Structure 1
Amino acid sequence: MNTRHQPLYAYLLAALVMVGLSYGLPLLLPGDYIEAVYGSSQVVLDAEQEAQLRQELGGRKGFAAHLWGLVTLDWGHSLALQTPVSRLVLEALPWTLLLLGTAHLLALVLGFIAGVEAAWRRGGRLEKAGVGGATMLQGVPEIGSGVLLLLLFAYHLGWFPAGGATTAYAELSGGPWLLDVLHHLALPLLTLVLAYLPGNFLLTRAGMVMILGSPYLETARAKGLPPLRVRYVHAARNALLPVLTRFGLRLAFMITGALVVETIFAYPGLGTLLFTAIGSRDLPVIQAVVLLAALLMLLINLGLALLHRRLDPRIGHAL
């Protein structure tokens, strides 16, 4: 085997392992769909009714059938909603991409710029206030900031809706629909930006502090280059790679990272879909979302490895 391509084979092997784990681990959940739905209700099923219901719902697919379904893009049907799993995933995925993608990009850009400016003014009040504030915010969990924002701006002030992605039963289109989506997006987006921004800020600042004393910056200043060009073109770009790496690693956990915030704000993304499916023991949905999250993580990690290979020739032989 060519050693140049061994890491790619490792990613392929990891993907196969993830397929097996995404099938097997949900089966370890206690109970099943019938017990989850009827166990706490007032409806009592006798043995014959329970057996008939299990037959109508269909038994658990074996691994071979599960694997064949993945190959043929047949992910099965949701037990709770009696809807194709692929349809549920495709309906929820755009909302998660909108929420998590926007939050990550905003946190990356704002954290990077703030970190560069704070390091450039090292020792000043801006840096001290930024480091103190970021350190404090980094210790606040998403569930804490999310609940506080929900209580203050949705329930107390009433400025933003308490949940959902759009106004129910509102016949909107075009600009009004977009404004309605952004109105519902504001609180969960702010929650995630507050969670992701401090780490980007502190990492950028630390990288910039290490770079500021480099001889090539003194040379750039001696050439009479504008301070803004020295700051961002010559200094900041060398602190960008660690921040991009962190961005990719956080993005790799997009689905699981969205679970808490989407649940708090009843946002109809993959996190809410997974949370609901776990509560009802809807195994086909759980298996599909877990596999999608695992494959997304592997794909982003592979992209980061290729990015490092392109930007750092010392590790170019690794892939």
Structure 2
Amino acid sequence: MLPFVVVEFLDSRTVAIIPRNWFTGPEEEECYWPPSSTVNVDQYVREGKEPQEDWAKFQVQVLGKAVDYTAARAKLRKAEVTSDLQTDPEPERAKRKRKLKFIDPDSDSEECPEMAAPPPPRRLLIKGLGNQRTATPPPPHLLKEAQTPGRSTPAQTGSSSTPCRPLQPSGIAVRDGMFVRVLTILEEIKDCQKVQGSMIRCLLQQREQNCVVPVLPEGVPFPLKSFTEVDDLELKLCESDFQKNLVSVLGDIGGRSLDECVCRTMAFLMTNDLARQLNLTGRHGKRSFRSLRLFDTLHGSLKQNTILRTVSKKEVETALGKWFTNARDRDGNRALRAQPNLVRRAAQSEVFEAEDSVQAQD
């Protein structure tokens, strides 16, 4: 018994190669066909895979049989000319059939006319399933479509015999799978929104319960004006409750950047006159701010800011260094320091004018 059979699908008027074991019965009037969207049909045909219960069934007519796949391909090409593939056709007696289009995907678009998708087959009952479904037609790489009269086939123009793959219509199974996937994603999004909503409600409740307005500690005159007030504040900062309260007060000052937060907080803590007597390291006869407990309190208050939660002491030291350096220019001191230079330049200008006048008289 020859293993490969060339058949014509009566519903779509297309031809293809199938293994003999794909027939549903000895009458060879109906065959199985695998779902082309999930399997490699060409490989299944070559290997003669056993049909599965979920494969679709089609009404077919046997056109010819072959001993191997290569011979079956030759008979498939021969089906363009005649429907009798058992014997070699005679030119005067051959039963003519509509010419079949054979398209080469490597050829130009002008030489590869557009292939129309085959009409969907009638609804068939698939064995093993309780309801009916529309069976998917055979894939185009094993099919040959009927060509409109007047157009020449690529075989006549000398193109390759490899068929190109046209677009296939979506089957009900594919659409149902996509619909189920979309519904699943929507359900996951809905569940995620429920979890996030409950988390936000819990956080808001905790914030309302723990929301305490910071109160400025009593007995501390801010801004500090002298070293005596600084020493008194250092003694009070030894108490953890006092320090926590002051951290909350300073953290509530806020700012949009590290430099802005440092400037606003230090302006609240001390005056510029006191700031000119301090620096970060204590050099040049000034007092060190980094060795004070107030520095650690300032660092803790800055970390309460949302955008400064990861700020390090090194970054705070850099910002404080710039603030202490510019303390001598605040409160109009920069303009006062510039006046002696203006007076000196005016005196030099008068001297130069006198010298010029003496030289002009000479």
> TM above 0.5, one fold?
no
TM interval, shorter chain, is: under 0.3
Higher CA-based Rg? 2
* Bigger relative CO (Cα 8 Å, ≥ 6 apart): 1
The structure richer in helix per residue is 1
TM-score (norm 2): 0.15
TM-score (norm 1): 0.17
